[in-house]
Structure 1
Amino acid sequence: MSTATTTETKDLAPVRAESLAALLVTGERPPRPSALSASLTFGWRAILKIKHVPEQLFDVTAFPIMMVLMYTYLFGGALAGSPKEYIQFLLPGILVMSVVMITMYTGVSVNTDIEKGVFDRFRSLPIWRPSVMVGYLLGDALRYTIASVVMLTVGMILGYRPDGGVAGVLAGIALLVVFSFAFSWIWTMFGLMLRTEKSVMGVSMMVIFPLTFLSNVFVDPKTMPGWLQAFVNNSPVTHVASAVRGLMAGDWPAEEVAWSLGWAGLFVAVFGPITMRLYNRK
């Protein structure tokens, strides 16, 4: 057995460096992927992660249902006389609150991939650098849409009727997804900055809870003290909730829509460059 193996090895011709190079190096290098192509590829990667770990959809299915049911029946009778009356005011606001709270998981996913060493491979690829971050956010945009559809379905069952019809509902969801996409840049920054995913979740909750509860999601700010109204009326969550509520009601709150898009642009302009600087130095 060993004699035959030795004979076969001696009969093999030596591999020359020129022939090896001809096999490894092609005559023409493949084209570099565009920014859009790379971003969509990483967005598809985020969707595939949901496919292989469907438990990730718990926060966009069970959590929104729980929020709608809990706040409708806890506060409906006390604030509006009945849950059916209250849900007309509550649902657009609680929709904004739930989706905004879900955005923090973007930072958790980024931090998890850093700990696993996946980012080292991404940084070595000849791609548009921000495409990795944009891909995360594009994948999460699907999660935001799923959460919105789930909450609207539950709200319709409980008696919510949007006077704006299909067009108003779609416009409200589109505005919310755009705002959430921009808002998620904050959590990508924290995901790169902090060491563990527990730290990312802790800091995220400290930021999200004041922004969402100190808003017009549950009640009209006119019932609040004057000093608190000054904060609530200028909160980005308040502007988004008012815009979504108006669009679904059949109105066109141009001022609130403009404020929401302005906040979204500000988040991207401020936290986008900071995130990419941290990513390049990580």
Structure 2
Amino acid sequence: MSRTGRVRAEATAAARSFLRRRTAVFFTFFFPVLLVLIFGVIVRSQGADGGLFALPPAYYVPGYLAVVVLFTPLSRVGSEVARHREGARFEKLATTPLSRAEWLLAQTLVNAGVIGLAALLIFALVIVATGANVGLGPATLLVVPYVFLGVVLFCGLGAVLGRIADSQDGVIAASNGVALPLLFLSETFVQPDLLPGWLPVWASPLTYFARGVRAVTYEPAGGSVASNLIVLAALAVVLFVAGAVAIPRTD
């Protein structure tokens, strides 16, 4: 079987496994939608003059997209690695032609498909529910590579967490421990002038995702689309390789 065939077969199996977990499917789409409704509709309806969620709704588009781009790959890939370790499945995979990088690529492609659909839903919901003034045009399509590279990056990080954690419960705890600080300290929901100057937001890969998506969807942002995309791509490659290396050959 060719490399493409091996990746396709593993991706098909991973997709079926995900779809059988109805709770996981539900919360993949429900959790970010709930955040949009709470913070984008209810909280903003109070009409604050400063602080959190006081900027135009379009400013927070990267934050809402970051929820699904960040949480889903970390928890899903990390849990898959932990599940395979507990079931001694990597020992069986070691006897097949499927490499660790191919296994991770298959998982990443499935996540990219699921998260792509969720991101499209969130994007549409933010525009409809919050009235966000997002300039739709050819440049808006640049959100697609940002989402894809974000998925690749956090799938790689999820694989690393799955190797480090000692159980599936440990993966969930670790992924939440990593994701929550990143979500609110990476120029997603909290604007830079509300963060302390000493905080190294540049060290968070999610910062480049947020800056790039905001430069595409929010005109006053004024950020560089190309430079943020390049940095995100480089980080995605590094973390994907790290994740592939972290996947054990045996359990």
TM-score interval for Structure 1 and Structure 2 normalised by the shorter chain? 0.7 to 0.9
Q: Which moved more, 1:236-245 or 1:70-79?
A: 70-79
Q: Which runs of 5+ in 2 are unaligned?
A: none
Indicate how the Cα distance of structure 1 residues 172 and 80 shifts in structure 2: closer, same or farther if over 3 A, else same: farther
In structure 2, the partner of 1:7 is none
Indicate how the Cα distance of structure 1 residues 130 and 268 shifts in structure 2: closer, same or farther if over 3 A, else same: closer
Separation in structure 1 between the aligned mates of residue 201 and residue 167 of structure 2, nearest angstrom: 32
Give aligned-pair identity as a percent: 21
Indicate how the Cα distance of structure 1 residues 263 and 82 shifts in structure 2: closer, same or farther if over 3 A, else same: closer
Calculate the aligned-residue CA RMSD, in Å.
Answer: 2.5
C-alpha distance after superposition, 1:55-77 (max 9, x if no partner):
32122211110111122232563
Larger radius of gyration: 1
Q: 1:238 Cα deviation (Å)? A: 1.3
Separation in structure 2 between the aligned mates of residue 263 and residue 215 of structure 1, nearest angstrom: 15
Q: Which has the higher contact order (CA 8 A, sep 6+)?
A: 2
In structure 1, the partner of 2:125 is 154
Give the partner amino acid of 1:262: A
Q: 1:196 Cα deviation (Å)? A: 1.1
Alignment partner for residue 62 of structure 2, among 78, 83, 92? Answer: 92
Alignment partner for residue 235 of structure 1, among 189, 204, 210? Answer: 204
Indicate how the Cα distance of structure 1 residues 51 and 246 shifts in structure 2: closer, same or farther if over 3 A, else same: same
Alignment partner for residue 115 of structure 1, among 54, 63, 86? Answer: 86
Separation in structure 1 between the aligned mates of residue 231 and residue 164 of structure 2, nearest angstrom: 29
Indicate how the Cα distance of structure 1 residues 272 and 170 shifts in structure 2: closer, same or farther if over 3 A, else same: same
Q: Which runs of 5+ in 1 are unaligned?
A: 1-32
In structure 2, the partner of 1:259 is 231
SS in 2 for 1:78: coil
What is the aligned length? 244
In structure 1, the partner of 2:48 is 78
Taking the TM superposition and a 5 Å limit, the aligned residue runs for 1:114-193 are: 114-158=85-129, 159-165=131-137, 167-193=138-164
User: Runs ≥4 in structure 1, deviation > 6 angstroms?
Assistant: 80-84
In structure 1, the partner of 2:215 is 246
TM-score by length of 2: 0.85
Separation in structure 2 between the aligned mates of residue 80 and residue 41 of structure 1, nearest angstrom: 51
In structure 2, the partner of 1:61 is 29
Separation in structure 1 between the aligned mates of residue 159 and residue 240 of structure 2, nearest angstrom: 11
Separation in structure 2 between the aligned mates of residue 253 and residue 157 of structure 1, nearest angstrom: 25
In structure 2, the partner of 1:270 is 242
Give the partner amino acid of 2:238: L
TM-score by length of 1: 0.77
